[in-house]
A and B are shown apart, each in its own frame.
Chain A
Amino acid sequence: MALYSEKVMDHFQNPRNVGKMDDASGIGVVGNAKCGDIMKMYIKVENGIIVDAKFNTFGCGSAIATSSMATEMIKGKSVEEALTLSNKAVVEALDGLPVHKIHCSVLAEEAVRAAVKDYYDKNGIAYDKEQFCDHDCAHCHEHDHE
Chain B
Amino acid sequence: MMVYADNAATTCVSKTALDAMLPYLTTCYGNPSSLYSFAQEAKEALEEARETVAKLIGAASAREIYFTSGGSEADNQAICSAAWSGAKKGKKHLISTKFEHHAVLHTLDKLKKEGFEVTLLDVHEDGVVRVEDVAAAIREDTALVTVMFANNEIGTVQPIREIGALCREKGIPFHTDAVQAIGHMPVHVQEMNIDMLSLSGHKFHAPKGVGVLYARRGMLLSNIIEGGAQERGKRGGTENIPGIVALAAALKESVEHMEENTAKIIPMRDKLFAELSKIPHSKINGSLEHHVPGTVNMCFEGIEGESLLLLLDAHGVCASSGSACTSGSLDPSHVLLALGLPHEIAHGSLRLSLGEYNTMEEVDHIIEVVPKVVSYLRNMSPIWEDLETGKKPHLI
Are B314 and A60 interface neighbours, CB within 8 A? no
Are B343 and A33 interface neighbours, CB within 8 A? yes
For chain A, residues 52 to 66, give those with C-beta under 8 angstroms from any C-beta of chain B: 55-61, 63-64
Residue B383 lies at the interface, judged by CB distance under 8 Å to chain A: yes
Residue B199 lies at the interface, judged by CB distance under 8 Å to chain A: no
From B303, B305, B307, give the contact of A12 (CB < 8 A): B307
Residue A122 lies at the interface, judged by CB distance under 8 Å to chain B: no
Which residues in B have some Cβ–Cβ distance to A below 8 Å?
302-307, 310-311, 314, 323-325, 328, 330-332, 342-344, 347, 379-385
Closest to A41 in B: B382
Report the stretch among A13-21, A89-97, A112-120, A124-132 that lies at the interface: A13-21
Docked complex Cα distance between A61 and B306 (Å): 6
Q: Closest CB of chain A to B82's CB: distance in Å?
A: 31
A contacts with B, residue count (CB < 8 A)? 31
Q: Closest CB of chain B to A22's CB: distance in Å?
A: 13
For chain A, residues 9 to 51, give those with C-beta under 8 angstroms from any C-beta of chain B: 9, 12-13, 15, 18-20, 29, 33-40
Q: A140: which B residues are within 8 A, CB to CB?
A: 330
Q: Given A12-B310, A34-B343, decide whether A29 and B304 contact each other with a Cβ distance below 8 A.
A: no
Docked complex Cα distance between A40 and B381 (Å): 9
Are A143 and B382 interface neighbours, CB within 8 A? no
| Of listed B311, B330, B332, B343, residue having the most chain A CB within 10 A | B330
Are A143 and B330 interface neighbours, CB within 8 A? yes
Residue A134 lies at the interface, judged by CB distance under 8 Å to chain B: no
Are B304 and A37 interface neighbours, CB within 8 A? yes
| Of listed A20, A29, A35, A63, residue having the most chain B CB within 10 A | A35
Are B330 and A142 interface neighbours, CB within 8 A? yes
Residue A145 lies at the interface, judged by CB distance under 8 Å to chain B: yes
Docked complex Cα distance between A60 and B307 (Å): 5
Docked complex Cα distance between A40 and B323 (Å): 20
Are A60 and B328 interface neighbours, CB within 8 A? no
Docked complex Cα distance between A13 and B234 (Å): 51
| Of listed A35, A58, A61, A101, residue having the most chain B CB within 10 A | A58
Please list 19 pairs of residues, one from A and one from B, whose beta carbons are closer than 8 Å in the complex, sorted by A's number.
A12-B307, A13-B311, A13-B314, A15-B380, A19-B380, A29-B382, A33-B383, A35-B330, A36-B343, A36-B347, A39-B382, A56-B382, A58-B302, A58-B381, A59-B325, A61-B306, A61-B307, A140-B330, A145-B343
Which residues in A have some Cβ–Cβ distance to B below 8 Å?
9, 12-13, 15, 18-20, 29, 33-40, 55-61, 63-64, 100-101, 140, 142-143, 145
Are A33 and B330 interface neighbours, CB within 8 A? no
Docked complex Cα distance between A45 and B306 (Å): 33
Are A58 and B314 interface neighbours, CB within 8 A? no
Docked complex Cα distance between A143 and B385 (Å): 27
Closest to B325 in A: A60
Docked complex Cα distance between A45 and B221 (Å): 71
Q: Given A12-B307, A29-B382, A57-B380, decide whether A36 and B314 contact each other with a Cβ distance below 8 A.
A: no
Q: B304: which A residues are within 8 A, CB to CB?
A: 36-37, 58-60, 63
Are A58 and B383 interface neighbours, CB within 8 A? yes
Nearest 6 A-B pairs (CB), nearest first?
Answer: A60-B306, A60-B325, A40-B382, A33-B344, A34-B343, A58-B381
Q: A58: which B residues are within 8 A, CB to CB?
A: 302-304, 381-384
Closest to B324 in A: A36
Closest to B332 in A: A36
Docked complex Cα distance between A95 and B57 (Å): 51
Q: B385: which A residues are within 8 A, CB to CB?
A: 20, 40, 56
Are A143 and B331 interface neighbours, CB within 8 A? yes
| Of listed B311, B314, B347, B379, residue having the most chain A CB within 10 A | B347
Docked complex Cα distance between A85 and B359 (Å): 50
Closest to A103 in B: B330
Are A35 and B324 interface neighbours, CB within 8 A? yes
Docked complex Cα distance between A60 and B305 (Å): 7
Are A18 and B323 interface neighbours, CB within 8 A? no
